[in-house]
Every structure is written in C-alpha cells, then in structure tokens.
Amino acid sequence: MPALSVTEAHDLIRSALIGSGTSAGNAAYFAQAILDTELSGLDGHGFYWLQFYCRHLRSGKVDGKAVPRVEAVSEVGFRVDAGHGFAHPAIEAGFRRLIPAAKAHGVAAMGVYNSYNAATLGYHTGVLARAGLLGIGATNAVPTVAPVGGRVPVIGTNPISYAVPAPGGEIAFLVDQSATAVAWTAVKRAADAGEPIPPGWALDRNGEPTTDAEAGLAGSMAPAGGVKGFSIGLLVEVLCAALAGGRLGPDQGSFTEDDGRPIDNGQFFLALDPDAFSRGGFAPAVTALTASIMAQDGARLPNARREASRERLAREGLTIDADLLARLRAFA
C-alpha cells in the first residue's frame, strides 16, 4: 500500500475537494477534518468517503461553493443554512458565533439545515472543547434503523458526540458514537468486500438478525442496546430534523446514489461554558473522573485509541489503497 506523509495526505484531500468543485474557503476546515479522521484510524470515514464527496460534487448533489448563512435567533441561538453545500463550512461559520456566545452567556445552541454528511462528528465537538467549552453534537443521516419491533428504517445511525475540555486548550476525553451497534460504514465495507458480518450488527428486511452484509444493507441496522440505542437515535432525529430543520430520514437525498439530489440533513450543536456553571469545579472533577477510569486495568478513556493512532500515524505516515489513491488523484 502506498504511504503518504501528513503533508502529502493533506494536499491530496484538499486538491481532490477543490478539483471537484469546492471553493478554497470551503475546503480548508473540511480537509483538516478528513485528515484528522484518517489520522485517528477511522479509515472508513477519511480517504474512503472522500471519493463519495468528490462524486457528489461532480453530480451536483452538493454545492462546494455554497456560502453558509448564519441567522441569530437570539444572542445564544443560531440557525445555519448550509445552502445544500457541505456541512463543514456551515458548522465552521456557525461556530464563529456559537463559541463567543457560549463564553459570554454560559450556554448556546445552533442548528444546521440544508446540510450534508457531517463526517466524523467528533472533529466538530473537539473544536468546541479546544475552545474551552463542553461541546455536544448530533447529526441525522439517511434512514437505516427501524424502531424496535418494526421493520422499516425511520432514522439513521444518528451519531452523537461530546468533547470534554481540559485546561490549556486540551481535550480531556471525547466520545463519538452512532446509535447503532456498529457504524453503517462497517456493514457497507463488508458488503463491498463480499464478507459476512457478525451477529448483532444488522437485521434483514423481515426484521430478523442476519450475518449477510447485503441483506443487512437491504434491511436495517441493529440499535446499540436495543430500544435504548433507538431512543438516543430518535433524540438526534428530533434535534437535527424537527428542531434544526434538516430533512427527516426518509425525505433525505441518498448518500450512495449519484442522482444530483441534495441530502439536506441537519446537525445540532450545544456548547456549555463549564466554569460559568461549576465556578471552577469542572477541571478537578473531570481529572478525578478520568483517573478513576484509567486506574483500572483493561479500562480506557473513550478516545484513547484514536489519540494513540493520531500520534503513531503523524510519525509514521498514512497508508492508502493504491486504487483509491488513483481515484482520488483523478479528482484533483
């Protein structure tokens, strides 16, 4: 497999985005997010999905030059119209208002609509945490999850993420997880490779457990912890569609079809200033909490693997499948 330095990987991502029709201004934060994802070891969401982004740019499904509009609902509430462009420039533009608002008032919230796949949600909440805020984020997605007892998907894998700040612009820990037992990408990649999936990942069209990845894609994803996972995904749908104004799952454009139809999903972000509420108690409590986890053999902080991967790959460079590299270079 070809190896790329961090700089080469960044250039590849940026030029594939720009070469397919993204404005330079819209490409910067997004390229950084894709690179960070790849460095984190989430290779299903980095280079792999970049080829879809580029195809969507070329088919007109997403407008790489859209200029997001931020509307203030109040001094602490923001609505961001992504204009059928990428989620990333819209989130970046919203954060420019959200972060100072949360610092001034203790809490602020924003919804993003007419948006696109947020990719690794934890990248965005990490930006809030590095600004000293407790960041919570959610995004809806094309429907793949049926209500427990039902068969028809009504919500997506609908991830939530939260990032806990530590003093000095650091992140104490970060969670980024789908409402499903596994990410949809894991089933898609197994199907692409013609491989079976473990039990507990997906259900077939009849709502029965399956180990056939194709049958799982045609059916539904199993929610994590049954009805409890579904309920978390349902909250994400309420926040991102009903409140933020993204389209409900079944009304969204497809992520896998090159049909030129916008996806128009929604995102929601909440930012809390820990010290406004805790009067300085936040950092010591987080330190004690993380210490109580790290002290146990076999336990680890939620983002420990991603952090280790980031350090290792920044040093060693990134590998990429030769065919994928060729496809991405062709987009540049």
Task: Compute φ and ψ for 284, nearest 5 degrees.
Answer: -60, -35
Q: For its own copies, how many residues bind (rule: CB under 8 A)?
A: 71
Give the integer Cα–Cα distance in Å for 318 and 68: 32
Q: Which stretch binds its own copies (CB under 8 A): 144-152, 190-198, 209-217, 316-324?
A: 144-152
The nearer residue to its own copies, 197 or 232, going by C-beta atoms, is 232
Which residues, numbered 121-140, are part of the site for its own copies (CB under 8 A)?
134, 136
Could you tell me the end-to-end alpha-carbon distance of the chain, in angstroms, rounded to an integer?
20
Q: Is 185 in the site for its own copies (CB under 8 A)?
A: no
Which residues, numbered 189-208, are part of the site for its own copies (CB under 8 A)?
207
Q: Is 164 in the site for its own copies (CB under 8 A)?
A: yes
8 A C-beta contact, residue 191 and residue 213: yes
8 A C-beta contact, residue 46 and residue 32: no
> Given candidates 106, 185, 196, 212, which one binds its own copies under the rule CB under 8 A?
106
Pairing of strands 77-81, 107-115: parallel
Q: Is 228 in the site for its own copies (CB under 8 A)?
A: yes
The nearer residue to its own copies, 2 or 225, going by C-beta atoms, is 225
Strand segments, DSSP code E, in 100-253 are: 107-115, 134-139, 160-166, 170-177, 202-203, 209-210, 220-221
> Given candidates 244, 263, 313, 320, which one binds its own copies under the rule CB under 8 A?
244
> Given candidates 28, 70, 166, 276, which one binds its own copies under the rule CB under 8 A?
276
Q: Is 166 in the site for its own copies (CB under 8 A)?
A: no
SS (H, E, C) 247-260: CCHHHCCCCCCCCC
Q: Is 5 in the site for its own copies (CB under 8 A)?
A: no
Q: Is 41 in the site for its own copies (CB under 8 A)?
A: no
The closest of 35, 302, 296 to 164, measured between CA atoms, is 302
The nearer residue to its own copies, 162 or 331, going by C-beta atoms, is 162
CB of 54 to its own copies, least distance (A): 31
8 A C-beta contact, residue 30 and residue 15: no
The nearer residue to its own copies, 242 or 326, going by C-beta atoms, is 242
Count of C-beta atoms within a 10 Å radius of residue 62: 28
> Given candidates 57, 127, 145, 224, which one binds its own copies under the rule CB under 8 A?
224
Q: Is 309 in the site for its own copies (CB under 8 A)?
A: no
Cβ-based neighbours of 74, under 8 Å, separated by 6 or more: none
> Given candidates 1, 3, 24, 242, which one binds its own copies under the rule CB under 8 A?
242
Q: Is 308 in the site for its own copies (CB under 8 A)?
A: no
The nearer residue to its own copies, 56 or 306, going by C-beta atoms, is 306
> Given candidates 55, 58, 65, 151, which one binds its own copies under the rule CB under 8 A?
151
The nearer residue to its own copies, 64 or 135, going by C-beta atoms, is 135
User: Which of 286-305 are b and which e, b meaning 16 or more Cβ less than 10 Å from the residue's Cβ?
Assistant: beeeeeeeeeeeeeebbbee
Binding mask 51-70 for its own copies (x = CB under 8 A): --------------------
Handedness of CA 266, 117, 38, 225 (dihedral sign): positive
Q: Is 181 in the site for its own copies (CB under 8 A)?
A: yes
